[in-house]
Structure 1
Amino acid sequence: MLPESEINRVLVVSAHPDDADFGSAGTIALFADRGVEVTYLLVTDGDAGGNERTLDNSGMAELRRTEQLAAAKAVGVSDVRFLGYSDGQVTPTLELRRDIARVIRQVKPDLVITHHPDRNYQFVAPSHPDHRAVGGAALDAVYPDARNPYAFPELLKDEGLEAWTVREVWLNGGPTPDHWVDITASMDRKLAALQSHVSQVAHVEGFADFVKSRFGAWAEQAGFGEGHYAEGFQVVPTA
């Protein structure tokens, strides 16, 4: 794994508003605490989500973008970008790979955090088809697209974006996490980020207790013990 001291820029690639907050907001808050530059890249605006049916899709998209900006602020992230793909219809196309590779070359991250591209049969919620499509496209954008100067030559020729090699990828939501981060110190900020997504969670009774229970159970699985909270990832070296 990359030494913590060598992680200076992180790109989080997610399908919808709130995905980064469920998957890695505690870890991101800890990165931000030590001065790591973090960028959020959201493939969709989440216009097909939420329980507020008085809004049309454009209204929901605007609301969810606003919620995501507030959630990012809660964990110290100010660089939030949206690609505007249609919620619920994402596929790992060449266009999506190019769009993610573009941001990788712009941001030059040491680490990319994204969705696991495989279906999790132990816990199905992370396996939304958009999540799997975005995870697969992000991995393809990391290797080989972003590092290959001959891939999507328009990025270099027309936009001046030199090839960039991401050194490591962390996948969340998969069935076989092998790296756990103790987020006890940042759990309050993770919860604040999640509660910023009012359109998604305000109707859930006991939401805070549910979140604490889930991430507390993962801390016990990780061996951190009672009273701790953890986020889990599968680490993918890219060398």
Structure 2
Amino acid sequence: MTDQLEPMPDDWQRALAIVAHPDDLEYGCAAAIATWTDQGREVAYLIVSRGEAGIDTLAPAEAGAVREREERASAAVVGVTSVEFLDHADGVIEYGTALRKDIAAAIRRHRPELVITLNPDDTWGGTYWNTPDHRAVGRAVLDAAGDAGNRWIFPDTEAEPWNGVRWVAVAGSDSPTHAVDVTDGLERGVRSLVEHRAYIEALTDQDPESYARDLIEGFAHQVAERFGGRPAVTFRLFRR
């Protein structure tokens, strides 16, 4: 018997999604975000780098500008208008108090109930080694969700402490616990990834639209057997 996934909590209004690179949220999670914004929920993005080291054929200064534009366009597809960048250096993001402080400060500004991030584990599925940036940012997000509520930790941030984070949801986890039905958000999830056209064209010879559809629909339908036959995006949910 395949373990069934629980539905994500729905008694919240504000979320903040925090990831290392432009495009990290578009590999599946954006379909859930489209579903949430359709329901009237507020979702903001915080991207720790500009992804400037992600396109081999473009120098970092040019690539960073391109990838920022693509991320803003991608966010708009799923109803997100607030997209912030922290300008940590792509590829060499370091876990530590500086990163935790930047993320805690953003949590205090946005005051989310739900924080979303990406897999901080060593591997994807036990087969592919995860990148240092993903590991550093995911771990820092989990820690900063607590830092943000403690007035004695990083007391010099502009915004007041926020102890209202109720959950941290990790996308791309090898051991998910919850899922979101993305029947209504799936097409926009595909289109949001297509907006990263320059990145995809440097990554693969496959047509960007075919590439995005194959991945996003494939992921969502693969989960369906664990979620009542419905296409879904999965999360490992940590309660606070």
**One fold, TM greater than 0.5?**
yes
Are 2:133 and 1:152 aligned?
A: no
Tell me which residue corresponds to 1:192: 191
Tell me which residue corresponds to 1:134: 137
CA change 1:136–1:23 in 2 (3 A) is farther
Shift of 1:201: 1.8
SS in 2 for 1:185: coil
Amino acid at match of 1:233: F
Amino acid at match of 2:109: Q
1:32-67 deviation per Cα after TM superposition (whole angstroms, max 9, x unaligned): 01111111000010001125x1x2101000000000
1:115-171 deviation per Cα after TM superposition (whole angstroms, max 9, x unaligned): 23222352555822211110100111002x10100001111xxx2423333111101
Tell me which residue corresponds to 2:3: none
Asked if structure 1 preserves the Cα contact closer than 8 Å seen for 2:101 and 2:144, the reply is yes
Are 2:179 and 1:180 aligned?
A: yes
Tell me which residue corresponds to 1:171: 170
CA change 1:61–1:172 in 2 (3 A) is same
- The range that moved more, 42-51 or 159-168, is 159-168
CA change 1:56–1:106 in 2 (3 A) is same
Tell me which residue corresponds to 1:17: 22
Amino acid at match of 2:24: D
Q: TM-score, normalised by structure 1?
A: 0.89
Q: Distance in 2 between matches of 1:47 and 1:124?
A: 26
- The range that moved more, 21-30 or 81-90, is 21-30
Identity %: 37
Are 2:68 and 1:65 aligned?
A: yes
Q: Distance in 2 between matches of 1:97 and 1:127?
A: 20
Shift of 1:175: 1.2
Q: TM-score, normalised by structure 2?
A: 0.89
Tell me which residue corresponds to 1:106: 109
Q: Distance in 2 between matches of 1:126 and 1:182?
A: 28
Q: Distance in 1 between matches of 2:13 and 2:190?
A: 24
> Number of residues paired by the alignment?
228
Q: Aligned-residue CA RMSD in angstroms?
A: 1.8
User: Of 35, 38, 46, which residue of structure 2 is paired with 1:41?
Assistant: 46
Asked if structure 2 preserves the Cα contact closer than 8 Å seen for 1:127 and 1:173, the reply is no
- The range that moved more, 119-128 or 171-180, is 119-128
Amino acid at match of 2:227: G
Are 2:123 and 1:120 aligned?
A: yes
CA change 1:126–1:64 in 2 (3 A) is farther
Shift of 1:211: 2.9
Q: Distance in 1 between matches of 2:24 and 2:62?
A: 19
Gaps of 5+ in 2: 1-6
Shift of 1:98: 0.3
